[in-house]
Structure formats: C-alpha cells, structure tokens
Structure 1
C-alpha cells in the first residue's frame, strides 16, 4: 500500500524531478565515499613518505591527490545541495497535489452519506498525516543512490584485500534488516503515539479556533487552554520517546561503522596506505546506508499517517461543479403539497420543529426525514448533482472563507463579474457597506468573516445564493440580525428580484417581514 500511494503521488513532473535528484544523490554518495577513501590513502601514504626521509618526500606527488580531495569535497557539497533542492521540490509539489486530490475526494461526497469528520479532524488528516509521507518522498532518491555508493565502497575495499571486501559486503547486506528490526523495536510504538497525539492536538486547535467567540463569551478560555496544554504535553512526551528511539538507531549505525572498519582491518592484506583507504571506505559505506536508517525510523510514522488517511484515499467520486448556465426548474412536493416552479413557499412552525432540517435536506446537506420529492422522485434518490443544480441555499449560519469578499461570492458559480457581484450585494443591502471599505470587493474578511457582523455575514451569504442563479432559493432566517428598516428594504429588493427572475423560494423565518414574500404557508407539523 505504501508503494502504491507514493507511486501515485510522484507521477509526471514530480517523478522526473525525483529522477534528476537520484543522479545528484548518486554523485554525492560516490564522491563522499571516494573523498574519505582517498583521504585515508593520502594521509597514510604521506606519513610513510615522511618517515622515509627527504628523498621519499621529494618523490611523493602530493599535489594531484590533494587537488582531487579538494575537488571531491566541492562535488560532494554541490551534489548534496542539488539532491536536497530537487527532492524537497518534488516532495512539496507531490504533497500539494495530493492534498488537493484528497480534498477533492472529500468535496465529492454526498453530504447525506459522507464520513462524519469534523473540520479539525479533516484538517489534521490533510496536513499532519500527509506530512508523514513527505519525508519518505524526500528520501526516495537517496535509497538507491546509497546502495550504489555502498557497492562502490565495497569495490574500493578490494584494494585492501578480497577477504576484507567480502566481509564488508556481508555486513552491508545485513544492515538494512538490522535497521528495520531496530527501528520497529525502538520507534514504532512512540511513533504511533506521536501521530495519534498530534492529530488530536491539531483537531482540537482547529475546533477551538472555530469556537473562539463562544469560548470567550462563556469565559471558558482557561479550560480550553488547559486541554490544549495537556494534549501538547502528550505530544511532547511521545516525541521525546520517539527521539530517544531514533538516537538508539543512530548509535547503532555508528557502532556498525566501527565493526565494519574492524572487519576490514582484520582481513586486509595490502600495504598500509591501501588498508587505510579500505578502512575509511568501509566507514563511509555504513554512513551512506544512513538513508535506510532514516527511512526505517520514519516508517512507523508513515504507517500511522496512512492508517488515518485510509478513510480519505478510499473515497470515490468527483467534485460536483456548479454550472455557469441555469438548469431548468423542476417541480417539488413537500408532503402532500405540490409546488410548481417559481412558487414562493414559507415553512412555518415552532422552534426545533424541523424547519431547518427540511431546508438542509432540500439542499442535499442532510438525509430527509419528511416526504420530499423533486420531479416526482423521492429526494433521497436524487443525486447531489441534481440537487446542486436546483437549489441555492442561504443558511442560518453562513460559512465564509478566510479570503476576500469577492472570493466568497465567486463560490456561487464560474464566470461571475464584479458588476454581478455588486448587483447581488445591492439586493442584499450590503453594497454601501462594501463600497465604504478601503479595498471594496477585495477586502479580506479573516476567519469566519471576522470583520463582518452577524447580519452582514447573513447578507453576504444571501448575495452568494442569488449569484448561484438556481431555479429554487432556500432561505433560512434571511433577515435575522437586521434592524426593521434594513429588513424592509431587503424584502422589497428581494421580491423585485424574484419577480424579475422567476425564481422559486422555500423560506423559513420567525420574523413577519420575510413571510410576506411567500404566497403559501405550509405548517411543518402537517408534513408527513
């Protein structure tokens, strides 16, 4: 499953960049091995020449090896930079694309049957859990390059003796299995705890941020902050245990390098300078295999991330896209009441009697509990695409993007012009307020429409619903939070717009003024 997901994430241009990163990683690995091996040979040979007297020193050519060492150091540094630049570029691009694809899967779900994820939980999966895979993609070019560099080191060690090279090869062959076992033992459990704790912390932060006004108004900020601190402490404890496990693996790798060097020294049969070459080649070969160690240490975190992402990767469907053209209006039936296109209906009843649920069911946000039909088809059998094409909703609690006013209005449908936005804002009695803002339509709202009052957020939602240009307009408490004069003006303008467009209305309101828009009233308790 890991390989399949990563392969899906690194297709196309990302795969090309990773192939380029591999060649840089290969050059870095080979130059690193050769640099250390040549340095060992050079220092030992120079020492032997120095011990041999002036004649031996004069005969020893130190210029070429020292220049080669300097050149290899430059090549190693440059190639490592190139590999990391390209691999991180590929990883960041792949993760951005994958986040978009997974968000698209979430957006494609029918709200009536979609997985029950809070905003915080979805955010934690799309951000934190995908980040667990990022390191795996970054390391992808280095693993085959590390293996090639290690084989190159074994080849150099043959100069110290074939027995030394064979011993090193056997040790290197066993190293990946040893690293995997050690990482499983020392990092799997803390990695699982860290992933779970971080996901819970992210979800709690997002949900607390969304409920910030209520937290402040009820004076429970201290309790919420304490909960966040407790979750953060859990993350810290899990990460501390994980880092200790990674330290154990790193210590194992250092010790393994010592064992590899000792094995080369034990079986070496060549002159001292070539033995020194073999010793440092063996040490660098184990260092080159560090990419396998890092992969093994991150594997547990990756597996936890994949387990949490399994819910999203298994989703089917394509996002419903709003059409630029208006669909043909279809007749409705609410209970036994038939409603023809263009008709204006008010659903009446006491608070808590299910009026909002009925409105949201028509919009496709919830499963219906009343008898609702669209063009003689039970609403539960209508696809999300059909419902989206028929209904535009201005809900009781308007959800707004943390973007500009224009960004929020453009959600309605493709190709909306600024003139159309201003016309819709005029009908919603919000045009004067927006025109007075320094940046007009480009004014940034902040989180949940932060700079707007509740009534203004409601009217912006109404303007967005008007711009959607659907056959039916669903209004849930459209004038809540407005003064009487503004309410009367909005009802007048909205009525004129309905007359001009022939749009039908299903509305819910506890205030009398909006009810004047409706030609018929249907009591909610009379709907079966």
Structure 2
C-alpha cells in the first residue's frame, strides 16, 4: 500500500522532528477521539439527567466531564500545532538536504558521462519532483498515529458491545482497502501525466525565458504563448482527474462515517450515554482513516517524482574537492603529436569541423570523439579531477552566474583577492569597463551576465580562466565580437601573460590576430577519431 521511501537517508535532526511529529499526531488523534466521544457521553447523560427531574440534575456531576472536555480541547489544539510545526520543519530540512545533495552530484558529475539535462529539465527535477516528495515526511508519520487512534477508537466502541467493535473493525478494513488500493491505481496515470506536464511546462518556461530576445525579435510571442497554454491545459486536465479521485475518496469517507455510526447504534447493548460515546468514537476512527487515504492518494505522484529523480540519484556522490592549485604541467597529445608543457597550439579548421568538440573534450565537458591524451594517457581513462587540475577553459558560449562580477571570478578557485581580479581583468581588457560600473567588482550582473555585451561576457570568462592558474589554457573564439583595436590590445596582453606564466595554450579561432599567439598549427582534420 505505502511502498515509496525517501530516496536518501534522513539526518538525525530530521528523524527527531519526525518522531516528535508522530508523537504529536498520536496525541492529537487520540485526544480528538476521546474529546468527541466524551462530549457525546456528556451531552446524552446531561440530557437524560435533565429529563429525570431535579434530583437527577442535582446528583449529576458535570464539573469533571466539562473540565476534561476543556483539557482535551487544549491538548488536541496544542498537539495539532506541534504536529504541523515539527513535520513541516522535518520536511523543509529533508527536501532542502535532498536538493543540495542532488545539485552537488549534478554539479560534480563527470561531463563525459553525466545526463544531458537542459537547465529547465534540471530545474524541474530539483524543484518540482523533489517537492512531490514532501508527503513522505509530512504525512507518512501520521499513518502510525492514525492506526493508534483507530485502535483506541475500537476499544471505545467496545464499551457498547463486542459486536459493535467487530462491525467497526470490518468497516475500517473495507474502507482501508477501498481508499488505499483503488485511488492509488486510478491515480497512477493522471499523476504521471501531471508530473510530466509540470516538468515540461517548467522546462519550457526556463528555456523560453532564456530566448526571450529572439522571441521578441522574430515576433514569436503569440506562438510561444500558445505552446505554453497547451502545456498548461495538459497539466490542468491531469490535475482535474486527480481532484475527482480525491473528491470520490472524500465522499466514500463520509458514507463510511455514517455507516460506522449506524452499525454502532444498531449493535450497541450499552446505555444511551455509552452508545453516544461509541457512535462518536466510531466516526472519529473514520477520520483517522482519512490520513491514510490522503497518503495513498498521493502515492502515485510521489512514486512518479521519485522515478524522475533516479537519473540524479544514480550519479556518484561528490568526493572531496581536489586541490586546484598550480600543479606540474602534463604534455598534451593531439592525435599522434605530443606537445610539451607551455606549448602554444592553434587548432584550425572550417566551421563545424570539430574544434569546439576537441576543446570541450579536453576540458572534460563531453566524451572525446578524437584521439586525445594528457601525460601519455588516453583522455577517456583520466579521472575528471585530473582534467580539472590541468585545464582552464574560456568557452565560445560562456556561462555566468546571477551574481556580482567578483562572484563570477571567484568560481575560478578559492582565495582570489581583489588585486588578482584586477590584474586578470586588465589582461582581458575589461578593467576599464568594470571601473565604470556603479559598484565595480561588486556590481550585480543579473542572469547570464545580463548587463554585459556578448564580447564583455567572453572577456569576463577569459579573466576567470586566467585566475584559475591551470597549466593549460583553452580558448574558443576568444576575440569574437571585438573591434580590431580591442582585439589587438587583448592579444598583446594575453601574449605577455603567457610569457610571464609559462602557461600552455590551445586556441581555436577564425580570426588571424589571436592565432598569432600560437607557435604551432594543428588542423582538426589531422587528429584521428577516437
């Protein structure tokens, strides 16, 4: 019935909050049941005493039951508050921990074998699919509490006779079977459809937001809006089906509550006050069944979310981050040719010939399609950590985080100070632009370097690669989008930096000026396939 488990071990703090939530849920359930049952007994007994005359009224002790009812009301309210507080605290910590863990796995995954997820798809899994697992922490601990409440309720109904208790037990068994099995099976398909539609919608929103300038330029807003509306309608349809199943379950609970009360009344052999007590205890038992029914109804959605997370759960846990400080430079192999440390190589070839593929493979971003090596070892056989120690990359399409200029530069390595940032930005011919910004290095760039032009983003990426201080610097079209004067200044500054540091260079470009930095030219066609 309840088969899905939280995908990772829960920390001790979360387990302690779950235990407190269970205790509070049990106290709230039993307190509510006893409160309802005692109220029924008290009202019926008081009515009978009132109908029996003044002597019966004088003999009836209403103070103790009334005080008990007030006390139970306070206990139930406090326990319910505690249950919500502790269970949601546990859920927040558990889901935050899961997101952090899976993000760390994805961020540290070997790019050569990691799943090829778009930003929108990764966002959907790390946000929406993990959110679907909240039920595992918030509601699942309430199931044992509901079972405990039902056992107490059956005991209370037994005061009206064993037949009444047995009939209630039969009703509970039937309801549990109907509400736990049928909704789970009925909701499997719409839950899978809702999860897929949610993921697709989130992915489309992220991807379309990244392409908003192209959408505006080419007048595609109406078309994109229509595609989003179509996906939203798909999600709404699945959610409506799930809502109908939940409504049917609620209706079945109402019928079960009425049936339990009626059977208890007919089978009772006790006095009227005890019969009223037993009837209300029976209805409270049905309310406890609702907690199990809600979790069962969410089972399909939880299972679907867990299934979509398997691709991230299968990634290995990140190891301790290797030192990225300066290390001995390894010779670089391109096909049969081997280049010593500090060599400067130009990788040439027409557009689409595979230059970027070679550079990204050396950086560990994708599986190598060419015969490449470092220190005489085939690239595919080297751990990604070894590649990180050797390679710094300024890619053709740089990625910047939504932070400050300094935040983006600090990604290169720990311990970078403002002086080092200034030196790297001067080499990249970007320092003057940064000094004109309102807050200099602390200026917020926005998403993907929003306030920077394409050439400025490339130069910021170049400065970051320089700060990494790796033995080999890989540049992919580093001067694309620059005017001739800025390009000449950049090439001169970069040449001086290479001379001073002895860093090796592999550069791919269609422009003659940056290729002048290289001493050796290697056509990409000369590198055999792996």
Name the TM-score class by shorter chain. Answer: over 0.9
Relative to structure 2, which stretch is displaced further, 269-278 or 214-223? 214-223
Conserved? CA contact 1:186–1:246, under 8 Å: no
The answer on 1:373 being equivalent to 2:348 is no
Partner of 2:228: 228
Relative to structure 2, which stretch is displaced further, 276-285 or 416-425? 416-425
Residue 458 of structure 1 and its aligned partner are, at CA, apart by 0.6
Note closer, same or farther for the CA distance 1:287–1:77 as it changes in structure 2 (3 Å cut). Answer: same
Partner of 1:321: 321
Partner of 2:330: 330
Equivalents in 1 of 2:404, 2:249: separation in Å?
49
Equivalents in 1 of 2:348, 2:310: separation in Å?
43
Note closer, same or farther for the CA distance 1:256–1:2 as it changes in structure 2 (3 Å cut). Answer: closer
Say which SS state the counterpart of residue 82 (structure 2) adopts: helix
RMSD: 1.9
Equivalents in 1 of 2:413, 2:437: separation in Å?
24
Residue 396 of structure 1 and its aligned partner are, at CA, apart by 0.4
Partner of 1:179: 179
Equivalents in 2 of 1:141, 1:510: separation in Å?
62
Residue 27 of structure 1 and its aligned partner are, at CA, apart by 0.9
Say which SS state the counterpart of residue 188 (structure 1) adopts: helix
Residue 317 of structure 1 and its aligned partner are, at CA, apart by 4.8
Partner of 2:428: 428
Equivalents in 1 of 2:506, 2:485: separation in Å?
23
Equivalents in 1 of 2:264, 2:142: separation in Å?
25
Partner of 2:283: 283
Partner of 2:137: 137
Say which SS state the counterpart of residue 330 (structure 1) adopts: coil
Once the two structures are superposed, residues 257-284 of structure 1 have per-residue CA deviations (whole angstroms, 9 ceiling, x without a partner) of: 1111112111111111111011001101
Equivalents in 1 of 2:444, 2:290: separation in Å?
47
Equivalents in 2 of 1:140, 1:405: separation in Å?
45
What aligned pairs does 1:158-173 form with structure 2 within 5 A after superposition? Answer: 158-173=158-173
The answer on 1:464 being equivalent to 2:475 is no
Paired residue total:
528
The answer on 1:213 being equivalent to 2:182 is no
Equivalents in 2 of 1:41, 1:4: separation in Å?
41
Equivalents in 2 of 1:331, 1:185: separation in Å?
60
Conserved? CA contact 2:325–2:389, under 8 Å: no
Q: Where in structure 2 are there 5+ consecutive unaligned residues? A: none
Say which SS state the counterpart of residue 429 (structure 2) adopts: coil
Say which SS state the counterpart of residue 311 (structure 2) adopts: helix
Partner of 2:86: 86
Once the two structures are superposed, residues 410-430 of structure 1 have per-residue CA deviations (whole angstroms, 9 ceiling, x without a partner) of: 221222223322322222222
Conserved? CA contact 1:107–1:320, under 8 Å: no
Relative to structure 2, which stretch is displaced further, 114-123 or 323-332? 114-123
Note closer, same or farther for the CA distance 1:422–1:74 as it changes in structure 2 (3 Å cut). Answer: farther
Equivalents in 1 of 2:403, 2:174: separation in Å?
54
Conserved? CA contact 2:344–2:506, under 8 Å: yes
Conserved? CA contact 2:4–2:302, under 8 Å: no
Partner of 2:6: 6
Conserved? CA contact 1:9–1:98, under 8 Å: no
Conserved? CA contact 2:324–2:388, under 8 Å: no
Say which SS state the counterpart of residue 6 (structure 1) adopts: coil
Note closer, same or farther for the CA distance 1:76–1:7 as it changes in structure 2 (3 Å cut). Answer: farther
Residue 319 of structure 1 and its aligned partner are, at CA, apart by 5.6
What aligned pairs does 1:116-127 form with structure 2 within 5 A after superposition? Answer: 116-127=116-127
What aligned pairs does 1:97-496 form with structure 2 within 5 A after superposition? Answer: 97-318=97-318, 321=321, 323-496=323-496
Once the two structures are superposed, residues 81-131 of structure 1 have per-residue CA deviations (whole angstroms, 9 ceiling, x without a partner) of: 111111111111111111122222223332222222222222211211111
Relative to structure 2, which stretch is displaced further, 247-256 or 201-210? 201-210
Partner of 2:508: 508
Equivalents in 2 of 1:364, 1:10: separation in Å?
33
Equivalents in 2 of 1:155, 1:520: separation in Å?
89
TM (normalized to structure 1)? 0.95
Relative to structure 2, which stretch is displaced further, 328-337 or 28-37? 328-337
Equivalents in 2 of 1:47, 1:444: separation in Å?
73
Note closer, same or farther for the CA distance 1:507–1:517 as it changes in structure 2 (3 Å cut). Answer: same
Conserved? CA contact 1:402–1:449, under 8 Å: yes
Say which SS state the counterpart of residue 8 (structure 1) adopts: coil
Once the two structures are superposed, residues 286-328 of structure 1 have per-residue CA deviations (whole angstroms, 9 ceiling, x without a partner) of: 1012110111100011111122122222233526835242121
Conserved? CA contact 2:392–2:473, under 8 Å: yes
Partner of 1:523: 523
Equivalents in 2 of 1:477, 1:421: separation in Å?
22
Once the two structures are superposed, residues 467-526 of structure 1 have per-residue CA deviations (whole angstroms, 9 ceiling, x without a partner) of: 111100000111122222222222222222212211111011222221222122222233
Equivalents in 2 of 1:177, 1:109: separation in Å?
44
Conserved? CA contact 1:132–1:301, under 8 Å: yes
Equivalents in 2 of 1:439, 1:46: separation in Å?
76
